[in-house]
Structure 1
């Protein structure tokens, strides 16, 4: 049988497939969502289920839970639109049984969109620095935790991430010995970043500023062209978000959500209510958390190849400028991870390029491999822990395994506690509520899922309470439950912390020192060093007839 030689196309498809498979695997392992994802996720739900006609908007979730500041609907509308073909295809194949399956498909669609951005960056890296650099870039990206885990999650940062990656691709995709991007490349990248900052995440203005300064200093764009590009793209972006979001929020005056967010969080200082971190936090905590071994590798890459430094100057400047703000979250700088990974790929190239027959070849190869293996070990552990950190989603899944319209005769009215609502109990997980999508589910069944906040124990469990079931985060005393006619049906366990059992490690080391032949059994014993603790977080209660 003749073997088919690998071509550049085969390699490209394999690398693209690896990035996509990594992102989709994270969605499959952790399909539930947290509260920070809820606005865009619920907006997608409402657009798919109700549409966005004037009469339909009153049913949308943002009218009930508007949040501290308005957010844009542009990302949610776009995601709903690109999710519709895969939803229809999956429905045709009979793969969608309920609304939760729609949530999974929406999330893998977003993950695929961000995969496209990363694949374009990877191809630009291959074009400019060589195919091996593209391979190392892919391996490094897939071995990290935060970016693959979050690129399918509906926070505004993930919509902005795609646009930042597109701009990075535009600036980077040029000949290996090209000294700078063209004026057209700069104009297009600046326009895209302006749109991302105006519509999705205002902090990107702090990335755009040093990028524009760099373009001016290296004479790759003129000041008049820069001003013209910025003004036109800024006005068009503002006009789009104001027209769309004024309509969706039914605002009496023109509404620019991202501008309101900046005024609220930065100028009024309200972001400090969520905590203030020291200025060094991004450099000493969040970047190492995001990049893992990519930190030392990127420094080596910058030292090895001066061409790598150009995209990193604005990235470093962005992190420095963001450090001036009091409230810090790793999500605010997620956009620079693909850029740092370009330099990290250069670092891996340094280790793997040493000839294997040379004196330092084997050591260099082992060091490079070890750095990737460290990434993978941390990622596997972080993923395992994270999958257990969505008790709200698990509670509703277990609730539906206990009760369904075929076995539960009386109408169900379940109250969902705040913790459950914040940790996975999204609108898509309310599978027996109306409306349903495209014939999925029984339209004659309409369970009520109630998330009213601030209800007392008496209001929840009293005789006049409308609830037939409760998902609670504080278990009432058994005597109270018995007296008021309630019973505990199930406790929902979730992540409760990590225990380090150093005595197990010490015992394993001692046994090997005494008898080296016990190394395998000692290695098996190391599994008990780190223990992920699961605790009861939520309880499902049922009213006794």
Structure 2
């Protein structure tokens, strides 16, 4: 280049952002740094010093029209993601067995407090589990849920219609099954207030986690929009919004959800580029991996390789120090916070507990080193690729497959500029899935953290095709993408409908409480009103929605001061032994139990059925799953 020509100002993407902000006349202010740098180099090579600015302006306008301006507002995607999470929470507010520790721990911290005196009454002491988990996430969510709980409570008290809608969403016994008088009594009776309050608190805890997931989603979406433009950000965002399992698990108190949030944030850090963001993403994943979900390290390993070998060029020593500091701080916090509640097991004589407890370290030893996770089943090595990922990815799966082809065969963009698809995120996800496949025990939720990475490459594919000129080509591209997203949204609706009716334990205990209320209201004998109830919760009920949030605490009925509820989840009891144990009511998977009479039955999901005579043509089929029984002489 001759000395009369200006020197190219953009040597790499990381320094271009700050320099463009300094110049108000820079025509690249609306473009991603990497694209802006390539455009200026192209213009410098084609034109002289006098007319270079005009060429730059014309070219950047064409790219803006083609890829979409990065400054167009996309906040509606963030709102849409939060709405999707809230819809999932309200229609499916209950929990399954894999969420047991998190939801029970949040209840114990919220209602019993974090103290040495309270630890003995925690659920993990009364009903021990197989492996230890950290109390930090559920405790933090429980504390943060208090203002959300107060806001929801105020909203419910302000309107009868909102209260009734909330009762319907929680799938409580319908007001239509009760007389208007008893329904008013049920709403205002202190006997039911504890149940309603606790369920509201359970919803509030999940709402807080949903808000955190939305923050990670917003960071992810903004990073894609800044680096790849409007089209890629729209596609990446809509893929996450409509992927059923992502929305379903993002608000559930399981370690996989925490790993998904951390991985989504790290994927956004990757897309932002630069050494600083690469280190931030690595530190977040390292901290979450050692304290909340150890298998997140399987995503962190290929991510670290990219940080070292890829564009950030992070020195090994620097990356190791940053991640080690984050991991050490996270482990220290976990040991300090988790040791006291877990040592309550030793005080109760349940298990030997070490002096210092690092729950996630024990999980890693249990699953990876000792290989005891196979107690829950084994799957073939290819199961993730042939079964789990197609379900998880949905519309992103064919787009990710096209990403490989598009990366090898560049797509022609405006002004003969090449727009290459970035398959590094796809490679990170692929390596992670291969590492996950080494373990014999496999579950779909284990590979949730790879979904945001695959979506990055899938969105790149759409943006690459969209960058080509031609109305017909863009029309075809738009129709295909909208069709894939619409199909995925339909599957999301079917998944939500199935999940809605798949918590028979929660429905059964609500029916039981309504039955007890009605029985006590209909009797005039003080002795009958004072008679306490002892409820046995069977295995299926305990695994399908019954938590401590659904238990009634205390009495609150001045007319019957000695009345109280007692709950037991004692295992290994035969049907013939239940009456001998003194249980007055049962939640059982057996339709007939000696000494008891069936009161009602709760339904569970039993597949789909096609009915072309009524909309929406595909309907959910249910079956009786959990039965409510009362003692025969009650």
Q: TM-score, normalised by structure 2?
A: 0.73
Show structure 2 runs of 5+ residues with no match: 1-68, 158-192, 344-352, 408-418, 524-528
8 Å contact 1:264–1:270 — kept in the other structure? yes
How much has 1:461 moved relative to structure 2?
2.5
Partners of 2:489 and 2:564 in 1: how far apart?
44
Match of 1:381 in 2: 494
How much has 1:532 moved relative to structure 2?
3.4
> How do 1:353-372 and structure 2 match up within 5 A?
357-358=471-472, 360-372=473-485
Match of 2:579 in 1: 461
Match of 1:109 in 2: 208
Q: Closer, same or farther in 2 for the Cα pair 1:411/1:393, shift >3 Å?
A: same
Worse-matched range after superposition: 132-141 or 49-58:
132-141
Worse-matched range after superposition: 299-308 or 310-319:
299-308
Partners of 2:215 and 2:626 in 1: how far apart?
38
Match for residue 307 of structure 2 among 215, 236, 247: 215
Match of 2:535 in 1: 414
Partners of 1:279 and 1:461 in 2: how far apart?
47
Match of 1:401 in 2: 514
1:286 aligns with 2:402: no
Q: Closer, same or farther in 2 for the Cα pair 1:429/1:319, shift >3 Å?
A: same
Partners of 1:10 and 1:74 in 2: how far apart?
38
Match for residue 599 of structure 2 among 482, 486, 489: 489
8 Å contact 1:433–1:445 — kept in the other structure? no
Partners of 2:354 and 2:491 in 1: how far apart?
50
Q: Closer, same or farther in 2 for the Cα pair 1:401/1:124, shift >3 Å?
A: same
Partners of 2:481 and 2:72 in 1: how far apart?
25
Match of 1:61 in 2: 123
Q: Secondary structure at the match of 1:220?
A: coil
Q: Closer, same or farther in 2 for the Cα pair 1:192/1:395, shift >3 Å?
A: same
Match for residue 270 of structure 2 among 166, 171, 178: 171
Q: Closer, same or farther in 2 for the Cα pair 1:461/1:354, shift >3 Å?
A: farther
Q: Between Structure 1 and Structure 2, whose CA radius of gyration is higher?
A: 2
Match of 1:178 in 2: none
Partners of 1:269 and 1:458 in 2: how far apart?
38
> How do 1:26-425 and structure 2 match up within 5 A?
26-94=88-156, 97-174=196-273, 181-182=274-275, 184-218=276-310, 220-250=313-343, 251-302=353-404, 303=406, 306=420, 308-350=422-464, 357-358=471-472, 360-404=473-517, 407=521, 409=529, 410-425=531-546
How much has 1:92 moved relative to structure 2?
4.2
Match of 1:471 in 2: 587
Match of 2:553 in 1: 433
How much has 1:12 moved relative to structure 2?
3.1
Partners of 2:461 and 2:562 in 1: how far apart?
60
Match of 1:536 in 2: 624
Worse-matched range after superposition: 467-476 or 403-412:
403-412
Partners of 1:82 and 1:341 in 2: how far apart?
31
How much has 1:285 moved relative to structure 2?
1.1
How much has 1:216 moved relative to structure 2?
1.6
How much has 1:435 moved relative to structure 2?
9.8
How much has 1:346 moved relative to structure 2?
2.6
Match of 2:63 in 1: none
Q: Could you say what the CA RMSD is over the residues aligned between the two structures, in angstroms?
A: 2.6
8 Å contact 1:354–1:364 — kept in the other structure? no
Match of 1:508 in 2: none
8 Å contact 2:145–2:201 — kept in the other structure? no
Q: Closer, same or farther in 2 for the Cα pair 1:363/1:208, shift >3 Å?
A: closer
Partners of 2:510 and 2:264 in 1: how far apart?
36
8 Å contact 2:421–2:460 — kept in the other structure? no
How much has 1:73 moved relative to structure 2?
0.6
How much has 1:165 moved relative to structure 2?
2.2
- How many residues matched? 495
Q: Secondary structure at the match of 2:517?
A: coil
